[in-house]
Structure 1
Amino acid sequence: MQTNPHLKQSARDLPIVATLVDNDHERLRCLPAIAGNRCVVLENTIYATLARICASYDGGYWHFYQLSNGGFYMAPDSDAMLRLSCANYFEDEVSANTAGIIATASAYSTLSFLQDGACFAIAYHQLSDFIFQHRDAGLIRAALD
């Protein structure tokens, strides 16, 4: 008797899909869905994180991505490779999308230590599940560890 392989697969093993949020109305809902009234703190922490680890970052438009597991991340709108230099001695060039994942995950981690920071810890774990299947998983984990 053969069993459908999908029936044996846990939800964590299913691919997590990132979808670009390109509707302005939907974009306005993304950050409050994660952080509630601290959405401005989250957004500014993500921007500040990238500014701290990327000397060439000087602001600009960011793309928002919803993950199929309920997660979320932001990434700068750029085709350029960004040189990152992190406090853990990670130094390398990554795509803007990968830099955004790193900045978002780092911001979630930092904010998770705030009083009532559980929403950021949950967001971190959702993004982390996506990171483990990402093509740049090794670079992202190295930058975050």
Structure 2
Amino acid sequence: MNTAEVANLRIEAQECKGDKGLRALQSVFGGASLERRALIMACAKLLSPSATLEGSWCAYQLSNGGFFMTPPAPLRIEIPAAGVDLHLCTEAAGVVCSLYAYERLAELSGGARFVVLRERLMAYARQRPDRTAILECLCQRDGQ
């Protein structure tokens, strides 16, 4: 398979229900899975201060080896300094929150593992129909 064929492969997201979600968390994050889950949720609260984030979060595994979690309801992402005020569906909001968390984890750990997870999730984000809104949240954060 050449590079162009790989670039054109559709990345699929599969929801991990019930115990599969917990196993997916553990396979991605190891023994620190609950702390990593809490960080993704903290990113959601930072980006959506008015949101009630209680309830069941869903885990998704990507066909390219990526992973993300979604909140129980759509989120209003607010980045006042950048003029961002967007309503995102649960999957898009989860992608944004997970990307923020991976970046933070990469900074804290200095490890390439979270950089790879971020790259895989970004590849999926770029294929989504709501990619413009997702990328706006990320670009505004970076000051671009």
Specify if TM > 0.5: yes
What SS class does the counterpart of residue 114 from structure 1 fall into? helix
State TM-score, norm by structure 1: 0.84
Whether 2:50 is the aligned partner of 1:67: answer no
Classify 1:17/1:143 alpha carbon distance in 2 versus 1 (closer, same or farther; 3 Å): same
What SS class does the counterpart of residue 16 from structure 1 fall into? coil
Whether 2:105 is the aligned partner of 1:100: answer no
Whether 2:37 is the aligned partner of 1:33: answer no
User: Any residues of structure 2 matched to 1:1-145 within 5 Å, and which?
Assistant: 9-22=4-17, 24-58=18-52, 59-78=54-73, 81-86=74-79, 89=82, 90-145=84-139
Higher helix share: 2
2:85 alignment partner AA: E
Q: Percent identity of the aligned residues? A: 28
Hey, which bits of structure 1, 4+ residues long, moved more than 3 A? 6-9
Q: What is the deviation of 1:60? A: 1.5
RMSD of the TM alignment (CA)?
Answer: 1.9
What SS class does the counterpart of residue 113 from structure 1 fall into? helix
Separation of aligned partners in 1, 2:80 and 2:23: 32
Greater CA radius of gyration, 1 or 2? Answer: 1
State TM-score, norm by structure 2: 0.85
Classify 1:121/1:140 alpha carbon distance in 2 versus 1 (closer, same or farther; 3 Å): same
Q: What is the deviation of 1:28? A: 1.7
Q: How many residues align?
A: 137
Say which is worse superposed, 57-66 or 130-139, in terms of deviation. 57-66
1:83 alignment partner AA: R
